[in-house]
Amino acid sequence: MNVAVIGADAESVHAIEQAHKLGHRVIAVDQDPKAPGAMAADVHYRIDISHESEVIDALKKEDIDFVMTTPIGRHLTTIGAVNDALHLPGISRAKAVMCTDKYEFHKKLSAAGLRSNRCFLVNSFRPVDPYRIQYPAIFKPRFGSHGRSVHYLTNPDEVFKLQDDIWGTHENTERPDNENVSAAEFSRNVKRAMEEHQRKASLEDDPSDDYILEEALIGDEYAIDGFMEGYNYEIMLVRRKRLTPPPARQAVEYMVIMPSDDRALEARIRDYMSSVCETLGLKDCMLHADIVINGRDINVIEVSASPAGRHVYDELIPMACGVDPAEQYIRYMSGASHYFQPLNSRKLMLRYFDMEHCFLHGIPDPEKIVSLMPAGVAFRKWKCKMKLLDYLGSINDESSILWRGYYIIEGPDERALRKAADIVRDSFELK
C-alpha cells in the first residue's frame, strides 16, 4: 500500500519505520529537504504543509491508500483536506478544525455540557472586557501553540496590559553592561540576558493572530492516549502530569496511571472522553487529550486527532502497554488484524530534565545512578542531550525543555519513582 505522512519531522520516523516493517511504501510531505522523516521515506515532496492544495495535487500522483497521522499541530487540517479530496478514511477537514480551533472547540463542547468554563475570542478588532471573566485565566493563540505565547493572568489589569502590549508598541530591553564588573556579576548578567532572550522567544505575540481568553480549569491535569476505531473510543494510557508553576505550566513529567491504580477513575475518563469524541464527530484516528479533574468534575483542555509527541507514542506507550500505537493504527487503516487494548501494564515515569537558572558543570553516568535508586527502580531509557557548560534557563514552552533530553524509569509505585527522580536531579552538578 501507499501511505502518506504529512509533516516529516523526527517524530514521524517511528511511524515510517513501522509502515516499512509492514511492507508499505511511504510518501512524505515536508518543506524541509533534510527533515528526518523525509530522508526515511521512499518518496519526498518538498512542500509547505500549510499549502493544502499543493499537498493534495502532489499526493494525487501517488495513489495513496491512507494518511498515517503522526504528532502534528494546527496542520492536522491539511490531513483532513487530503482525506476529503482523495476520498480516504480518517479525519475530515471539518472535524480537524474542531480539534485545532480552540474557540470552535470550546463552543461545541460547552454547548454539549462537556466544558464548564467561559471562553472569549480576542483579536485587534475584538478586544475583551476583562471584567467578564473569572480569574485565574489563560490567554493563548486560537490556533496552535506548543506552549508559546501562553499567558497565565490573575486579574483584569493584567489583561488590559497584555492587550495593550500586543496591539501597541513593544519596548526594547536594555542590554546588560558587562564592563568593569566582577566575574560573579558578569555571570549574573549573562544569566539575566539569556533569561530575557528566552522569555521573549516564548512570548512572540503576533498582533495579526486571533487569541482566546478563557477561565483556567482548576484541578489535577492528566493526558489521555487512545484510538477511534470507527466511532468507538478505545483508551490506551492515562498519564498524570507534573507541571511547572504558572505562567508556563509546562509538563515536565508523565506518571503512568495503571488500571489497577484506580479503576473507577479510568472508567470515568473513558465515559467522559467517549462523549467528547462523539460530540466532535471523530472517527478512525489516533488521538490524545489533556483533561483536568477536580473531584467529580472532568473538563477537557484540548483534543487532537493525532498521537502525542514528546516520546510518548513511540516509546512510553509501547513500554507501558505492550502495544505500539503506530503499528496498530497502520494495521487498522490497511485492513489487517489489529489490537488497540493494552496487553500489559507497567508502572513507568517519563521525566524531562527540568533544572532551571543554572550552568551545567557535571553530567552523571546513569549506570552509577542505578546503585543509588530505591529498590525495584530501573532505567528503561536515558537520553541526555545536554553538554557541559550548557545554560539551563527558564522552562517557558516545549522548545525550552525538549532539547535537554529525558529518561524513563520503572518502579513498584509512585513514591519510589519520585524518590528516584530526585536522586537523578541531585546527581547533576549545577552552578
| Residue 104 resides in a domain | no
| pLDDT above 50 for 290 | yes
pLDDT bracket for residue 127 (50, 70, 90): confident
Q: Do residues 187 and 224 share a domain?
A: no
Q: How confident is the model at residue 176 (pLDDT cuts 50, 70, 90)?
A: very low
Q: Is residue 88 a contact partner of residue 66, using CB atoms and an 8 Å limit? A: yes
With beta carbons less than 8 A apart as the criterion, state whether 253 and 421 touch: yes
Are 242 and 256 a contacting pair, CB within 8 Å? no
Provide mean pLDDT across the span 372-383.
97
Residue 294's DSSP bridge partners are: 297
Does residue 73 lie in a domain region?
yes
What cell numbers appear for 258 in the block? 495503571
Is 106 within a domain? no
Q: Which of the listed residues 333, 362, 383 is the one where a domain comes to its end?
A: 333
CA atoms lying within 13 Å on the CB side of residue 329: 32
Sheet holding 25-29, edge to edge: 43-45, 25-29, 2-6, 66-67
pLDDT value for 377: 98
Query: What CATH number does residue 281 fall under?
Result: 3.30.470.20
What is the H or E stretch that residue 276 is in? Answer: helix 263-280
Share in percent of the chain as helix, strand, coil (round to 5): 35, 25, 40
Terminal Cα distance for the chain, rounded: 54
Residues 324 and 383 in one domain: no
Please give the Cα distance from 204 to 218 (Å, whole number): 26
pLDDT band at residue 260 using 50, 70 and 90 as cut-offs = confident
210 with 235, same domain: the answer is no
Residue 5 is inside which H or E element, if any? strand 2-6
Q: Are residues 317 and 255 in the same domain?
A: yes
Query: Does 358 lie in the same domain as 302?
Result: no
Cβ atoms within 10 A of the Cβ of 332, count? 20
**Same structural domain for residues 325 and 365?**
no
- Is the same domain home to 291 and 238? yes
pLDDT of residue 194: 47
Give the HSE-up count for residue 174: Cα atoms under 13 Å, Cβ half-sphere. 4
Per-residue pLDDT band for 163 (boundaries 50, 70, 90) equals confident
Lowest mean pLDDT across 65-69, 146-150, 182-186, 215-219: 182-186
Lowest mean pLDDT among 177-181, 184-188, 396-400: 177-181
Q: How far lies 203's CA from each of 18, 110, 165, 248, 254, in Å?
A: 37, 28, 11, 10, 25
Which pLDDT value is given to residue 197? 46
CA torsion angle for 101, 103, 105, 108 (degrees, to 10)?
-140
Total domains present in the chain: 4
Does residue 253 contact residue 231 with C-beta atoms inside 8 Å? Answer: no
243 in Cβ contact with 252 (< 8 Å): yes
* Residues 62-67, mean pLDDT to the nearest whole number: 98
| Residue 276 placed within a domain | yes
At a CB cut-off of 8 Å and minimum separation 6, what does 61 contact? none
Please identify which residue in the block is written with the cell numbers 483536506. 81
What range defines the domain where residue 152 resides?
118-171+180-215
pLDDT for 76-115, tens place per residue?
A: 999 999 999 999 999 999 999 999 999 999 999 999 999 9
Residue 257 maps to a domain: yes
Is residue 179 pLDDT above 80, yes or no? no
Q: Does the pLDDT at position 29 exceed 50?
A: yes
- What would the DSSP string read from start to end of 305-362? SS--TTTIIIIIHHHHHS--HHHHHHHHHTT-----S-S----EEEEE----SEEEEE
Distance of CA 304 to the CA centre of its chain: 10
| Residue 127 identity | P
Mean pLDDT of 273-289: 97
Boundary (domain end) residue, out of 333, 362, 379: 333
Structure confidence at residue 413 (pLDDT) = 96
Write down the pLDDT at residue 251: 95
Domain-embedded: residue 95: no
CATH label of the domain that carries residue 389: 3.90.1170
For residues 129 and 49, state if they share a domain. no
**Which tens digits make up the pLDDT trace of 294-330?**
999 999 999 999 999 999 999 999 999 999 999 999 9
Answer with the one of 293, 308, 333 that is the final residue of a domain.
Answer: 333
Query: Which of these, 161, 349, 178, lies nearest to 254 by C-alpha position?
Result: 349
- 224 with 329, same domain: the answer is yes
- List Cα–Cα distances, 230 to 26, 278, 286, in angstroms: 24, 11, 11
Residues 245 and 286 in one domain: yes
Q: Give yes or no: residues 126 and 191 share one domain.
A: yes
What's the mean pLDDT in 139-160? 86
Q: Is residue 240 part of a domain?
A: yes
pLDDT at 169 over 50: no
Count other Cβ atoms within 10 Å, centred on residue 197: 12
> Pairing relation of β-strands 297-304 and 232-243?
unpaired
Within this chain, do residues 357 and 422 fall inside the same structural domain, yes or no? yes
Q: Is residue 57 part of a domain?
A: yes
Please state, rounded to an integer, the average pLDDT across all residues of the chain: 91
